[in-house]
Chain A
Amino acid sequence: MGLACNEVIPRLVAWQDGELSPGEATQVSEHVAGCAGCARAHHRLAITAPLPPPAPPAAVQRRLAAAFDVDAILAAAEAPEPAVPPAPSWASAAWAHLARPSAVPRAAVLVYLALLAAALGWGASNWWALRDTGAVALDPAHPSGAIPASQFRPAAYDPAGDPEDARRADPAP
């Protein structure tokens, strides 16, 4: 049974390169002989086949020959391998990423990082300040910081509570 066009097309290059088995090569050549479309595709590929470039100029060949000395190569191979530079750390990788030309100017990234650091610092200092006043004291019984709803009592309804709370509470009507 012969090959269909969609089986022949992907084999044309290998056929031209002489890399098909004799059986397959026969099937392809029989198909191409009887199919105008595949014959055209074959011709298009054949006329665009790259050919090896000629040898480099004589001057280059002389430089190449002069640069190659088997004893020098063996000596270089015997020598300890050049120290491999350490793998880039994540920080230098990040810097390289920033340093590469991109749509985001590097200055903008630096400004953004500075603002982010400032905001975080401001938040942290506020938190510590509040914590020192006891306003956000963590309950040792609830280290996660989650305080059961039952412990939240509006000060106004807890006259027996902390005097501080009692003072802040609205005076009874």
Chain B
Amino acid sequence: MPRLRVVSSPASLPEDDEIKAIAKRDRRTAADWIVRKYRDPIFQHAAWILKDWEEAIDVAQDVFIKAMREKRFFDPDFKMKAWLYRVTSNLCFNLVRDRRRRSAILEAAPRSELLPRATSDEPEQTEVVFANEQQKRIMHAIDRLTEAHREILLLRYYSDLSYAEISDTLGIKLGTVMSRLSRARGALVEVLDAQGVEMTMG
């Protein structure tokens, strides 16, 4: 089966190695290329985990500040893309965990002790993402999987990373990428089957 890869970056963007070469002479220009090349993908990866545009913008900024603080970032053997995705994933899943903990405490506390909640913790934006009903259901089903399964599915199918890139990002062997993805997809099928919705091709 032929692999369909979404071409997300225009051809005019330099390869990572070219950016590293530029960094030797001019760190600012290299930083500019890094931001131009990875700002949108990193922001989107954050948004798919967090389901909140504003939070995702904050995280993406944080990721690039951390990257520029990282001394080895432009080193020849440094895996820039994997590093950016890894840091983004970690920051976002920490936020998701904090959010869950906070709302658990809010739920547990007696109502009278709390100020009225100005906004709901529930994000509102995913509904607008997919026009396609089936892909919308798939996205909701992904949300119900474990963190590890969610993470690997988002990296592979939403951010379009190759297995080798996922292996670098998660720091796991290629064989583990393959088996974890296979299990994650199996879990996804089970969640969708449990919802009893007939899926169709396309």
Q: Which residues of A contact B (CB under 8 A)?
A: 9-19, 29, 44-57, 60-61, 63-64, 67-68, 70-71, 73-74, 76-77, 81, 99-101
Q: How far is the CB of B74 from chain A (nearest CB, A)?
A: 13
Binary contact readout B9-44 vs A (1 if CB under 8 angstroms, 0 otherwise): 000000000000000000110011001000110011
In the complex, the chain B residue whose C-beta lies closest to that of A77 is B68
Given contacts A56-B43, A68-B61, 14 further A-B contacts (CB under 8 A): A11-B182, A13-B181, A13-B185, A14-B181, A18-B2, A19-B3, A19-B162, A48-B188, A50-B153, A53-B135, A70-B32, A73-B65, A77-B67, A81-B69
Q: Which residues of B contact A (CB under 8 A)?
A: 1-3, 6, 27-28, 31-32, 35, 39-40, 43-44, 47-48, 53-54, 57, 60-61, 64-69, 101, 104-105, 107-109, 128-132, 135, 138-139, 142, 153, 156-160, 162-163, 178-179, 181-182, 185, 188-189, 192, 199-201
Complex interface: chain B residues within 8 A of A74 (CB): 27-28, 31, 68
Report if A52-B53 is in contact (Cβ < 8 Å); known contacts: A12-B182, A14-B178, A44-B189.
no
Q: Is the CB of A77 within 8 A of B185?
A: no
- Number of contacts between A and B (CB, 8 Å)? 127
